[in-house]
């Protein structure tokens, strides 16, 4: 452990001089006791973020679970999670269906499954589809025309991919192990890597120091925690390696600084309590803890843990409950959680997006529990309609 702490100090001394020119380096180093008993604070979403809604058009050709949201400047992309249909739906920003495509199959230009979130490169009008069973990433244009594919460059899976910059993707290896890894030494495996958008070549593996590998998975059920391990934040990414006590902020010039330090050490805990970041705003840093011994199969399959929040203004940590003011009854909003339920963005404008099921909105409307624009939208919905996408933005 002493060696690990020494390595961390060396990294801090090396990377800090290279960060002096950035304008967003006023963040305090946040320390979180994952076993702490923090006071609770209730927040109204609209008090610190602006909210808008996109009702997704429903037609015979456009019926979707909309479990994944990619909100670009001009389009919204959704698909069905936990479904093998392979459909990818493209809407405009008003929710009108533009087109859908499906390249699922056995051909050289087709994916056998979509095993993680797709990624949208708006600069080049490209959609990246990762098929880990084939160990390939397929690239299509916005009409579903095949452009290229490339193999994973290592035996380990590139599970989650996202746009890093104009030329590269950032990949998160969130698999427990691949078949070839079962007999391998996983102690020093790097979870994050930067790869080429063109051919998948590994440009850089991001090394985060830790003592022994810890996996955020319940072994008895092979049930992983599906939180973001790489979270977009301003001009950088927060990298949460479950085996490390530090969540780092990683920049486009490949420098890295500590952002959150958790206590007690993950290496000392049995069962482990993991910590992952969620929604990140100008004032609040939302997080969630997960305790590995408890998984509630009856309550929609949720981990036992705590919803935490660091308040930059008060420089204190709280448990939190956030409510949407467009509902008259208090229904909590998830500010950290499953990557398939909440989409986080690397944008000064959009902070996060979530889906609201049409049948829930119809029921709330009938019971007089909606207000404002959401009430107007719900009045036009049928309970069988596609979901409504809620977008939260930084206030102007």
Domain CATH number, residue 112: 2.120.10.30
Give the best-scoring range by mean pLDDT among 109-113, 177-181, 226-230. 109-113
Same domain, 200 and 230: no
pLDDT tens by residue, 331-364: 899 998 777 778 887 565 789 999 999 999 999 9
Of 176, 207, 238, the last residue of a domain is 207
Same domain, 58 and 96: no
Same domain, 246 and 127: no
What's the pLDDT band for 10 if we cut at 50, 70, 90? very low
Same domain, 216 and 198: no
Same domain, 198 and 228: no
Q: How many CA atoms lie within 13 A of 44 on its CB side?
A: 7
The DSSP code for 387 is P
For the entire predicted model, the pTM comes to 0.86
pLDDT tens by residue, 165-218: 999 999 988 665 443 444 445 556 788 999 999 999 999 999 999 988 887 765
* Rounded distance between C-alpha atoms, residue 65 and residue 62, angstroms: 10
Query: Does a cis peptide bond (omega within 30 degrees of 0) precede residue 264?
Result: yes
Domain count, the chain: 2
Same domain, 35 and 80: no
Of 159, 174, 207, the last residue of a domain is 207
Beta-carbon contacts of 13 under 8 Å, excluding residues fewer than 6 positions away, are none
Same domain, 242 and 329: yes
Same domain, 251 and 149: no
Determine how many CB atoms are found less than 10 A away from the CB of residue 279.
25
Same domain, 182 and 248: no
Same domain, 29 and 76: no
Of 186, 207, 228, the last residue of a domain is 207
* Rounded distance between C-alpha atoms, residue 387 and residue 392, angstroms: 16
Of 188, 190, 160, 161, nearest to 174 by C-alpha is 160
Is 55 buried (19+), middle (13-18) or exposed (0-12) by CB count in 10 A? buried
The DSSP code for 326 is T
User: Which residue range is the domain that position 167 belongs to?
Assistant: 64-207
Of 187, 149, 196, 189, nearest to 173 by C-alpha is 189
Of 139, 233, 248, nearest to 195 by C-alpha is 139
pLDDT tens by residue, 229-284: 899 998 899 999 999 999 999 999 999 999 999 999 999 998 889 999 999 998 99
pLDDT tens by residue, 198-210: 999 999 999 999 9
Beta-carbon contacts of 190 under 8 Å, excluding residues fewer than 6 positions away, are 173, 205, 206, 207, 208
Same domain, 331 and 387: yes
CB distance 362 to 382 below 8 Å: yes
The rounded radius of gyration (Å) of the Cα atoms in the chain is 21
């Amino acid at each position: 452990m002493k060696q690990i702490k020494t390595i961390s100090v060396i990294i801090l001394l090396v990377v800090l001089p290279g960060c002096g020119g950035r304008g967003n380096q006023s963040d305090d180093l946040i320390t979180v006791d994952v076993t702490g008993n923090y006071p609770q604070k209730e927040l109204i979403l609209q008090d610190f973020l602006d909210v808008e809604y996109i009702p997704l058009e429903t037609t015979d050709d456009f019926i979707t679970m909309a479990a994944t949201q990619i909100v670009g400047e001009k389009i919204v992309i959704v698909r069905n999670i936990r479904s093998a249909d392979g459909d990818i739906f493209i809407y405009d920003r008003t929710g009108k269906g533009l087109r859908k495509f499906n390249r699922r199959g056995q051909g050289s230009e087709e994916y056998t499954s979509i095993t993680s979130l797709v990624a949208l490169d708006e600069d080049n009008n490209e959609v990246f589809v990762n098929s880990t069973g084939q160990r390939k990433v397929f690239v299509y244009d916005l009409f579903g025309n095949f452009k290229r594919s490339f193999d994973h460059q290592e035996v380990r899976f590139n599970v989650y991919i996202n746009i890093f910059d104009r030329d590269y993707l950032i990949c998160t290896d969130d698999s427990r192990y691949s078949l070839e890894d079962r007999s391998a030494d996983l102690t020093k495996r790097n979870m994050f890597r930067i790869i080429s958008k063109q051919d998948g070549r590994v440009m850089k593996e991001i090394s985060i120091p830790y003592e022994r590998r810890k996996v955020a998975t319940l072994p008895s059920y092979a049930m992983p925690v599906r939180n973001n391990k790489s979270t977009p934040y301003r001009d950088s990414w927060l990298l949460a390696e479950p085996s490390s006590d530090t969540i780092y902020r990683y920049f486009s010039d490949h420098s890295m600084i500590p952002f959150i330090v958790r206590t007690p050490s993950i290496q000392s805990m049995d069962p482990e309590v993991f910590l992952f970041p969620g929604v990140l705003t100008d004032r609040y840093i939302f997080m969630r803890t997960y305790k590995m011994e408890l998984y509630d199969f009856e309550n929609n399959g949720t981990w036992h843990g705590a919803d935490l929040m660091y308040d930059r203004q008060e420089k204190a940590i709280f448990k939190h409950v956030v409510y949407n003011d467009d509902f008259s009854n208090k229904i909590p909003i998830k500010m950290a959680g499953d990557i398939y339920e909440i989409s986080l963005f690397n944008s000064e404008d959009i902070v996060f997006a979530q889906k609201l099921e049409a049948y829930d909105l119809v029921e709330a409307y009938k019971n007089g529990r909606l207000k404002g624009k959401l009430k107007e939208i719900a009045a036009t919905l049928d309970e069988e309609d596609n979901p409504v996408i809620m977008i939260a933005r930084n206030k102007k």
